[in-house]
Amino acid sequence: MTPAAMRRTAVVAALVVLSLTACGKKAAESPAMDNPFFSEFATPFGVPPFGLIKPEHYMPAFERGMAEQKKEVAAITANAEAPTFANTVEALERSGALLNRVAGVFNNMTSSHTNEALQAIDKELAPKLAQHGDDIAMNAALFARVKAVYDAKDTLALPAEESRLLEETYKDFVRGGAGLPEDKQARLRRINEELSVLSVKFGENVLKENNAYELLLDDEADLAGLPPAVRAGAAEAAAERGKPGKWVFTLHKPSLIPFLQYSGRRDLRERMFKAYTERGAHGGELDNRRLASRQAALRVERAGLLGYKTHADYVLEKNMAKTPAAVYEFLAKLWAPALARAKAEAADMQAMIRGEGGDFKLQPWDWWYYAEKVKKAKYDLDDTALRPYFPLESVRDGAFMVATKLYGITFVERGDIPKYHEDVRVFEVKDADGSHLAVLYVDYYPRASKQGGAWMNNFREQSIRDGKDIRPVVSNNGNFSKPTAGEPALISYEEALTLFHEFGHALHGILTRCKYESLSGTNVPRDFVELGSQIMENWA
């Protein structure tokens, strides 16, 4: 999955800033001349100079970015000329360049390599960014100019991309509360502010819960059923935590999934499964149930304020499905065959349990374990036996090879491009004619500073400014099995599919050629954004 929803038009960039986070000290503590964000990045292809960017740089950069965009918006509304696409819609789209640049770096850092300093400022900055987004979305003079252009759209004969930008910009204002009376706008502001803070806290709690849990084993008998590579990984994890001679299993997928697949200890599988599925539900300061309930209530209220029946109606309006009814109609076509397949698989597993003398009913923590047993019994297929065919670097190179054959593009690893962590690899992507196309960061291993899952994001979006094609800086993140002592990183077939999936999103970002940043790459409806990923999965 890709967090493409984090990137929108200048209005949406401001609105989306509700979910962005930042870190650092007060602006006065960081001299402007020392802030890397206040000058062009003197790096290959203008990538972020990670070695120079410190936590204290983000807050002043965000604050200046918001101030600059406010001035740009004020200039638009003060324009004495009649509203046009160029002096209003396009001008708004081009505003907030510094803010977008800082956010592009910071979003990636908070998801890929966060720390306590970043998390602390998250909470402080979130409401400020929410207010900034609302100040733009509810600017009456600005909306009047946008609406004037929108109302005349049928007479403008705009090219396709300009027409779409106008349509999306107008929708974003309406969905942002521009047409509401003042009392409802005031309430919407409070809702957006609270949601921004809750979102930051929710994500922080999940990360802390992930990192806090460990299953520590000190008896080799407890490792029954686990393959040697899984045991070796757990031993290394224990040694890294200062517990040599023991074995540690965590909630990171490369540790969790093999344990659920192969551990012969049903009680320990249950402990691991529940630890993962019940994150944020253990009481105390990290409990997310109250936060989730409050978020749901606020979303319902926001939808009502804006004239939508439900939060689903509000969200889906911007997607291809458009309505909850269309979603349910599609899901209904999948439900019957999916349920039948699941019941058949469960029956096979239950039969396996009975055949082994078990007198218990199949439970969720048994599913991975008995699925492996059934595959072995029916098809002589063993995930462990497949791993040697999937060294991570070979899978990555295979994905690159497919892209080369399909699109003519090539990938050249670069050691001179700054990176933010030693695990990261950096590639220049070249077009078929050898010209520069993009920079691709791949970051495949789990760590405590990184969120779970797999995703694609951009440090910089593609756009065309003053006739110059500004090429994107794209990232692919995963949480795949790490190499162990003396052994390469051997990933599972499912992990190989995931790598191809996320690389499909990366290709969407790499190959894009659009005029406007808010429309380029994966800035498309959320239910369309998966097209690139599915194409690549078909080639895996």
Residues noted as catalytic: 502
Strand partners, 477: 443, 455
Which spans in 241-288 are helix H?
Answer: 253-262, 266-277
End-to-end CA distance of the chain: 17
What tokens were used for 110? Answer: 């908070």
CB count in 10 Å sphere of residue 53: 21
Q: Which of 217, 111, 122 is nearest to 479 (CA)?
A: 111
- Give the H/E segment covering residue 299: helix 289-305
Under DSSP, the state recorded for 85 is: I
Q: Which amino acid is at 353?
A: I
Q: How far is CA 512 from CA 168, 223, 320, 427, 469, in A?
A: 19, 48, 20, 17, 11
In one-letter notation, the amino acid at residue 61 is: A
Q: Are 23 and 58 in contact (CB under 8 A)?
A: yes
Task: Tell me which H or E stretch contains 237.
Answer: helix 228-240
Q: How many CB atoms lie within 10 A of CB 161?
A: 14
Q: Which two tokens stand for residue 52?
A: 């120079």
What does the alpha-carbon distance between residue 385 and residue 206 come to, in Å, rounded to a whole number?
33
Give the chain's length.
Answer: 540
| Separation of alpha carbons 442 and 384, rounded Å | 25
Up-side HSE of residue 507: CA atoms within 13 Å toward CB? 26
Q: What is the spatial distance between Cα 96 and Cα 384, in angstroms, rounded to a whole number? A: 50
Please tell me the distance from the alpha carbon of residue 438 to that of residue 460, in angstroms, as a whole number. 10
Whether 388 and 488 have beta carbons less than 8 Å apart is answered as no
Residue matched to tokens 């699925």: 371
Rounded distance between C-alpha atoms, residue 159 and residue 175, angstroms? 24
Residue 230: C-alpha distances to residues 11, 250, 270 (Å): 48, 12, 18
* 517 vs 505: CA distance, rounded Å: 16
Nearest residue to 115 via CA among 420, 531, 492: 420
Listed in sequence order, the residues at least 6 apart from 333 whose beta carbon sits closer than 8 Å to its beta carbon are: none
